[in-house]
Amino acid sequence: MTKTTSQMLKEVIKLGLIAGLISLSLSVIGMVELFSKRELIAGIISLGQVFLFAPPIALGFMAAQKVAKEKKNLPLIFGAITGFFAAIPLIILIILESNFDLRQFLPNVSPALVDILTFSLDPIIGSLVLLVVTTVLGLAAAGMYLLPKHIQKPLANGIIYTLVIGLFSENLSERLRSFFGVGFVKILFDGKALNVVTAIILFILIVVLTVWWTRQGESVKARFTPKSAQEQKRNRRITLGAGVVFLLFLPLLLGTYLSEVTNNVLIYVLMGFGLNIVVGFAGLLDLGYVAFFAFGAYTMAILTSTSDLGVAGISFWLALPICVLVAVTAGVILGVPVLRMRGDYLAIVTLGFGEIIRILALSDLLKPYIGGAQGILQINKPIIFGIDLIKPDQFYYVVLTGVLIAAFVSWRLSESRLGRQWMALREDEDVAEAMGINLVATKLLAFGIGAGFSGLSGAIFASKLTSIFPHSFNLLVSINVLCLIIVGGMGSLPGVVVGALILVGLPELLREFAEYRMLMYGALLIVMMLSKPEGFWPSPVRKRELLAFKEQNDPTVVQEEG
């Protein structure tokens, strides 16, 4: 059934308006304006503009894709139409803002935003320019779609990677300056953004590299693929050794600020490994995971603090195992009441537990012991061989050790009998029980070990900050950790690292993101679940499971949900 041109036109106009509405939303919630302060390529393009124009480009591409299937000759025009209609909602906003004062309702619709939308021109001329720009972008996106694959890919890579490098140019220039001096950086960067010339060179470089890789990649890969088992072993050892050396010298490369960021990422990785056992391996959705983080942190604080609230004043290293033990115990105790619950009920109850713990920590009831809202101060830093590990690049090694231990334990567990029991549990509780798996022990072990990692992480966190407050242990931490294991890929250890880098590392590097962090998490969770539910770095088992579900999409099969 082919559609008539007018039907297609209607669809494409709808696509265009959707693109426009997305751009409009991004503008009115203030993202475009805030992000336009970060320039990617000096004087040419800012992050705000990328956000503003990405929807017309993406949907222009989609329009071309849709049309090309049925009408071979029209994609370009339809792409342009998409772009054209994408501008309409924005223009309405410009007109409204210049005639009424929208700011009393929507604080982010400011003159600065209109300036960005109209390219600092007069509203009417600016609107027309905007219309032309989005139309051209829609057209370009459609053109991009029509290009043959071997041209399309290098071009897209070139644009995307150049913009990404531009995005991080502030940190990049700061690092390069400390290695090569100011003069070198001045050549490449213009303020905090990429120089136009640098950007063009980068773009060409990336395009050339991509072309070379698509032509030669296979043969390069083949040269490094091990031919015998021995060689494979040797290769693995070399990679492992290189990895360890890299991790050991990372702080030297990163400097103080980036080391601090890395420490935060690693703390989340540590928590991620723990939650990965509970959610990823055993399939128990725990939303109160932050409670165990709090247990670890508060135990560390009470044991090592030199303030009035500290009781023991022992060293970090002595307190650490106690913290883990406390967290494990808490995990098992809180695990008992929820043993019979599944899925969404479990999620809500654990969320309730997390909140109860936070409220109790805040309350006057426990104030004499853990300080209430004022928290606990003067927590000891770890000392090793007489060196106080105060600076982030020193503290890095403490966190790294924790992460490596957790990674090793998780890795060994995932292959063990217990790990397999967890996976059986995740797939079908009833069948697992019928197979002779002791549900109580298996579940409690998952809760306990997961909580232990979290407690370790909390203890390190407390020592890193030297002071803790109940507000650090709110629900958002649990959600963050959950997001990162989902984004990385449930049940996958490298996935946790990837997830933490994306969800914790990126927002810390791009400070403007802070305000919209949760918004993007939310959107990311939905998009991930819709398009790539297995995550960026999925574990092979999980991938197979989800694929099986996709294949089951046969309406005649009675679905599990009943």
Partner 1 sequence: MRRRFQNVNFIDIVLWAMGLGILFLFIWGTIKGLQNPKYGPSDYANFVVLGIAQGSMYALIAIGYTLVYGVLFMINFAHGEFFMVGAMTSTVFIAIPLNETGFFDRQPLISLLLIMIVAMSTSMSIAVLTERIAYKPLRKAPRLVPLITAIGASFFWQYFFRGLFGSQVISFPEFAALKGSLSLFGLEILKSRLLVIIVTIVMLIGLQLFIMRTKTGKAIRAVAEDKDVAALMGIDVDRTITITFATGAAMAGVAAVLYTVVFRQVHYFMGFFPGLKAFTAAVLGGIGSIPGAAIGGLLLGIFESVGPSLFLEGLHIPAAHQLKDVIAFTMLVLVLIFRPQGIVGERLSEKKA
347 binds partner 1 (CB under 8 A): yes
524 binds partner 1 (CB under 8 A): yes
Torsion angles phi and psi, residue 41, rounded to 5: -120, 120
Q: How far is CA 358 from CA 118, 377, 471, 480, in A?
A: 47, 18, 8, 16
C-beta neighbour count of 211 within 10 angstroms: 16
133 binds partner 1 (CB under 8 A): no
Q: Can you spell out the DSSP letters for 515-530?
A: GGHHHHHHHHHHHHHH
C-beta neighbour count of 214 within 10 angstroms: 14
Label residue 562 exposed, middle or buried (CB < 10 Å: 0-12, 13-18, 19+): exposed
Q: Between residues 255 and 533, which has the closer beta carbon with respect to partner 1?
A: 533
| Residues 392-431 close enough to bind partner 1 by CB under 8 A | 430
Q: Between residues 517 and 543, which has the closer beta carbon with respect to partner 1?
A: 517
Q: Between residues 275 and 462, which has the closer beta carbon with respect to partner 1?
A: 275
Question: Using CB under 8 A, which of the segments 23-31, 185-193, 249-257, 259-267 binds partner 1?
Answer: 23-31
482 binds partner 1 (CB under 8 A): yes
Q: Between residues 435 and 526, which has the closer beta carbon with respect to partner 1?
A: 526
Q: How far is the CB of 553 from partner 1 (least distance, A)?
A: 5
Rounded distance between C-alpha atoms, residue 158 and residue 160, angstroms? 6
Question: Using CB under 8 A, which of the segments 115-123, 309-317, 354-362, 464-472 binds partner 1?
Answer: 354-362
Q: Between residues 39 and 286, which has the closer beta carbon with respect to partner 1?
A: 286
Write down how long the chain is: 562
With H, G, I as helix, E, B as strand and everything else as coil, classify residue 121.
Answer: coil
Contact 279, 490 (CB under 8 A): yes
Q: Between residues 182 and 336, which has the closer beta carbon with respect to partner 1?
A: 336
Q: How far is the CB of 548 from partner 1 (least distance, A)?
A: 10
Question: Using CB under 8 A, which of the segments 178-186, 193-201, 214-222, 282-290 binds partner 1?
Answer: 282-290
Residues 6+ apart with CB under 8 A from 166: 39, 40, 41, 45, 193, 194, 199
Alpha-carbon dihedral of residues 170, 174, 180, 186, nearest 10 degrees?
Answer: 50
5 binds partner 1 (CB under 8 A): no
Q: Between residues 106 and 325, which has the closer beta carbon with respect to partner 1?
A: 106
Q: How far is the CB of 529 from partner 1 (least distance, A)?
A: 5
Strand partners, 193: 190
Applying CB under 8 A, which residues contact partner 1? Answer: 25, 28-31, 105-108, 283, 285, 287, 336-337, 339-345, 347-349, 351-353, 355-356, 359-360, 362-365, 367, 430, 440, 479, 482, 486, 515-519, 521-526, 529-530, 533, 545-546, 549, 552-553, 558-562
